[in-house]
Amino acid sequence: MKYDLVGNIMAFEAGALDEDGIRALFQHLVDTGLAWTLQGSYGRMAMALLDAGEIHWTDSKDRRRCEWYYFPSNKYKGAVRIRDEGKHGFRG
C-alpha cells in the first residue's frame, strides 16, 4: 500500500496524528529527502526527532549530504543548513 503523504501532512498540521504517526511521517520525509525541501519547521522537527533517536537516517550518505548544524543562539532559532561552499547559510 502506498504511503498517504498528503493525508498524513494534513493530519499532522491539524494535530490529529498520534506519536507513532508523527514518527512514521517524519521517517518517510527523511527517507525521501522531502524533510529538507518543505518549509523549515519540517526540517527542524526531523532533526529534533533524529537527534532524539526517535527516527533514523536512511543511510550515512544522506546524513553527509544534508550537513545540518544547530546554532541555538542564532537569529534563526534552530537548524541552519550550510551549503557545500560554506559561504551562505539559509533557514532550515
Residues paired with residue 80 on neighbouring β-strands, in sequence order? 69, 91
Mean pLDDT of 2-27: 96
Position 63 scores a pLDDT of 58
Note whether residue 91 is domain-resident: no
The total of structural domains in the chain comes to 1
Range of the domain at 61: 5-65
Per-residue pLDDT of 45-70, as tens digits, reads 999 999 899 999 887 555 555 554 44
Note whether residue 81 is domain-resident: no
The percentage of residues in the chain with a pLDDT greater than 70, rounded to a whole number, is: 63
* Global model pTM greater than 0.85: no
Measure the CA angle with vertex 44, ends 39 and 50; round to 5°. Answer: 130
Note whether residue 17 is domain-resident: yes
Note whether residue 35 is domain-resident: yes
Query: Residue 71 phi/psi, 5° resolution?
Result: -130, 80
| Average pLDDT of the residues of the chain | 77
Note whether residue 70 is domain-resident: no
Note whether residue 33 is domain-resident: yes
